[in-house]
Amino acid sequence: MSRLLRSKALGGVTALTCGAALVVTASFSVPVAVGTENLPDLMREADETVSIVEVVVADTAELDRLVETGADLDHAVHVNDDGTLTAHVVASPSEELSLTARGFTLASTVHDEGDTEAALAERDATIATARAENQAFAVAAASTSVSDVKVIRADYYTSFGQGYLSVEAKFANGQNVNSALVVERDSGAGTEIGSGGTQNISRFVDAGEYLYHRGSATVATRPDQIRVTSPTGDTVIATVNDWLPIDGDDVYGPNYETDFINSYLTPTELYERIHSLAAEFPEIAEIVELPYQTNGYRRAAQALLGNSNANRVGIDSHAWGHEGGNDLSVETVNPGTPNSPLSVAVNGSVITVSLATDANGTATSTARQVVDAINASPAAGELVVAYTYRGNVGSGVVPATSAALTDGLSAPNSVSRDPHPVYAIRIGKQRDGSQTGVLAYAQEHAREWVPPLVSIEAAERLLRNYQHDGRTKQMVNNLDIWIVPSVNPDGGHYSFYDFASQRKNMTNHCDVTGNADFSARNTWGVDNNRNYDVYSLFDGYNGASSSCTSGTYAGPSELSEPENRNIDWIAGTNPNIKFAMNLHSSGNYFMWSPGAYITPGRISAPRPSLEDESYFWGASSRILTEIKRHRGLSVTPARTGPISDVLYSAAGNSGDMLWYKYGIYAWNFEVGTTFQPPFSNENPTGASAHAESQEFANGLVELFRVAYDFDKDKKKPSSSVVTSSSSEAGMVDLMFEVSEPASVFYTLDGSAPTYESAMYASAGLREDGETLTVPKGTKVHWFSVDAAGNVEKNYRPDGNGKNYNKTTIK
């Protein structure tokens, strides 16, 4: 398949082709919004609660206006019956008032902090249950009559004629002792245990809690019994069972293992998980520490003195909070004597400001005067910097008060406060750049807790099925797979422990003349999916903000953030990578480039060629089919396609960088319907992090299959129309049938079908498509395209081709 050069000239002058040439220089300045001078700021204070609310807009132009406010948008936009659009915005009460003042209509609340608290409580309960079970087992095992090891499962199965034994067992001190358990097996009923050989099983820890030991090994004969020995020498004997085939699994073998996710995982836990996997499977996996460390889960300690904008004084420590800033305090006192001068004293970690008084002993020091006095004091200036509140002149008199400085961070000490390494697990038999590469990465946006689970589930499936599933072995032997479960660990930790709705990283680019004070701490950071260097805000594209407190802040420059430079480094130093999946939530979308446009006129980044668009659509049909197989979820045609078509402009997103700069076929999942759904849900169609992790892992693994099949499939699909009688008079029911998983595009008005035509999301062999009911005499024109981009009959769907399929319904 031919590939287009999509590189962007970096530095100097950038030329972009969007119908007409648009030339943008490096000195591009972001335009200032007009007519908003007297409107309340779109600003979130740290003590406000935050919810996801629906915002109804009249059309796409109004949607673009909403995006341009810098509102913190969820990824869900849907068309209503009356033609209006509903978008989801993450907003506090003050932000809701600001949006209302700008003429936007707010509807119902979709998700609030109570929902997140429930999800965290569920995670805590899961961990607590595992801890309690471990403790109860340890107490029971302390007696002389109970072994300190017990078998949970012992399963025998075959794959391609080879026998396997899979064992799960629990060790009473497994939380603290990182030792393998030894499994001895017999060679059939009545034979001696040990005669069939031995195997070791490894410790499995999830969310910091030990669950059990597990592992599988090939066996020459089916064992009847096993004996498991713990590190203390205690033993237990168990009978081996047959592992029955999985009902309806026609893609992978009957012994294909799935479902390795037990709870939400913090970035620290995600990294621990992939390190453990790489250690367990060193022949086919390794950990890569990416070159750019993040800012770290850390902040200066801060305080605010005063009670109004005019008399407030902001105080920031020079030291990080955990390195001494949190030990500081500041007090302003009235000395109680008339005509006292303003002075500053430091005693250990306490800074005391003695306010100036008048002849009556009344304090007269303004915020500006207090700020200047603190900064002029050598002793105080060595510890802190002071400033007036958000650029205020500081004319108000500062009251007598005191405040302890704090960084406001709540994560336990197990979460590092240092600059954080970002890790990838690299999976493949040959990890030398010689094989087709695939990149999967998650949690660019901190609050999106489900996508990292998808990446971990996919990694587990590749590694744990390698020995006994032929299709998995085929992929691992022939692909070079990079998985980054958390691009943004600092923001991820902040979301789990401090502010669940955190979207961005934790780098504060605001200065003290703006919104750098303690009350603004939940607005800082860069949107990592707006900081890349292709079709960005700095190139004049829409969908990102220059405001340091906006939910879509693009940063001070392209690729300013280490998180973004890491993804750029992976793509730039591994030219074998041809495919990528950016895992996001939410909205159940499946998208690709172009992802940005310029308003007015929606001047888009260049569309893919017909050949490449065919590949995007065809591969998508395979991937979406596998998502649906888990529980029937359909990512609808309306939510499938180029980002700028089905959602809104997202200037500087990673998918565009990978596609245009490096020629990588880059997709974007939007997993589920909310950022932090309950982990488990008994309703099979309801929001569930567990179910979403499984269904979208299906899709991610299918992307690996697409990569494996890359350039191998030259066979074109074929399709036909099947009709049946309709219950409506004068009407006929019709369906399309295809020879393989493929997308079908059709028209019913006699026009030539193109990629802009209606899409019949037929998945061919594994699911039925929709039933269309049309009048007799309808002219149906259509064509199909498969996952390799092969178009039926070599038809060119540019509106000029003639060899599409045609029929008249009788």
pLDDT in tens, 208-231: 888 889 888 889 999 999 999 999
Amino acid 737: pLDDT = 87
Per-residue confidence band for 602, with pLDDT thresholds at 50, 70 and 90: confident
Strand order in the sheet with 401-404: 343-347, 350-354, 329-333, 401-404
For 95-146, write each residue's pLDDT tens digit: 999 999 999 999 999 889 998 999 899 888 888 888 888 888 888 888 767 8
Q: Over 70: is that where the pLDDT of 251 sits?
A: no
Task: Find the Cα–Cα–Cα–Cα dihedral 306, 307, 311, 316, rounded to 10°.
Answer: 40
Amino acid 37: pLDDT = 58
Q: Over 80: is that where the pLDDT of 196 sits?
A: yes
Amino acid 30: pLDDT = 35
Amino acid 289: pLDDT = 98
For the chain, first and last CA: distance in Å?
40
Q: Where are the alpha helices (DSSP H) in 640-755?
A: 643-646, 654-656, 662, 689-708
Is residue 544 within 8 Å of residue 527, measured between CB atoms?
A: yes
- Tell which wins on pLDDT, 469 or 487: 487
For 162-193, write each residue's pLDDT tens digit: 788 989 899 999 999 989 999 999 999 999 99
Amino acid 216: pLDDT = 83
Amino acid 523: pLDDT = 96
Question: Radius of gyration (Cα) for the chain, nearest Å?
Answer: 30
In terms of C-beta density within 10 A (0-12 exposed, 13-18 middle, 19 or more buried), how is residue 616 classed?
Answer: buried
**Cα separations in angstroms, 366 against 7, 314, 372, 561:** 56, 13, 10, 38
For 327-348, write each residue's pLDDT tens digit: 999 999 999 999 999 999 999 9
Q: Where are the alpha helices (DSSP H) in 324-431?
A: 367-376, 378-383
Q: What would the two tokens of residue 135 be?
A: 């403790």
Q: Over 60: is that where the pLDDT of 761 sits?
A: no
Amino acid 24: pLDDT = 29
Is residue 510 within 8 Å of residue 452, measured between CB atoms?
A: no
Per-residue confidence band for 246, with pLDDT thresholds at 50, 70 and 90: very low
pLDDT, average across residues 298-321: 97
Give the distance from CA 295 to its chain's centroid. 19
Is residue 541 within 8 Å of residue 651, measured between CB atoms?
A: yes
Per-residue confidence band for 638, with pLDDT thresholds at 50, 70 and 90: low
For 521-562, write each residue's pLDDT tens digit: 999 999 999 999 999 999 999 999 999 999 999 999 999 999
From 2-16, 38-52, 312-326, 746-760, the region with the lowest mean pLDDT: 2-16
Amino acid 173: pLDDT = 92
Per-residue confidence band for 277, with pLDDT thresholds at 50, 70 and 90: very high
pLDDT, average across residues 451-475: 95
For residues 671 and 89, give the distance between their C-alpha atoms in angstroms, rounded to a whole number. 17
- Tell which wins on pLDDT, 253 or 691: 691
For 564-586, write each residue's pLDDT tens digit: 999 999 999 999 999 999 999 98
For residues 810 and 806, give the distance between their C-alpha atoms in angstroms, rounded to a whole number. 13
Amino acid 657: pLDDT = 98
State the catalytic residue, choosing from 209, 561, 670, 792: 670
For 201-211, write each residue's pLDDT tens digit: 988 887 788 88
For 60-95, write each residue's pLDDT tens digit: 999 999 999 999 998 888 888 888 999 999 999 999
Q: Over 80: is that where the pLDDT of 682 sits?
A: no
Cis omega (within 30 of 0) for bond into 421 = no
Amino acid 122: pLDDT = 86
Task: Find the Cα–Cα–Cα–Cα dihedral 241, 242, 246, 247, rounded to 10°.
Answer: -110
For residues 638 and 492, give the distance between their C-alpha atoms in angstroms, rounded to a whole number. 30
Amino acid 222: pLDDT = 94
Percent of the chain topping pLDDT 90 = 67
Amino acid 252: pLDDT = 66
CA-wise closest residue to 481 among 577, 368, 354, 625: 577
Please state, rounded to an integer, the average pLDDT across all residues of the chain: 89
For 722-759, write each residue's pLDDT tens digit: 999 998 999 999 988 888 767 889 999 999 999 989 88
Q: Over 60: is that where the pLDDT of 249 sits?
A: no
Amino acid 230: pLDDT = 94
Is residue 795 within 8 Å of residue 653, measured between CB atoms?
A: no
Q: Over 60: is that where the pLDDT of 31 sits?
A: no
Is residue 646 within 8 Å of residue 61, measured between CB atoms?
A: no
Q: Catalytic: 133?
A: no
Percent of the chain topping pLDDT 70 = 92
Q: Over 60: is that where the pLDDT of 15 sits?
A: no
Amino acid 253: pLDDT = 67
Task: Determine the angle formed by the axes of helices 450-464 and 470-478, rounding to 10 degrees.
Answer: 100
Q: Over 50: is that where the pLDDT of 589 sits?
A: yes
Amino acid 68: pLDDT = 93
For residues 798 and 753, give the distance between their C-alpha atoms in angstroms, rounded to a whole number. 8
Give the distance from CA 200 to its chain's centroid. 35
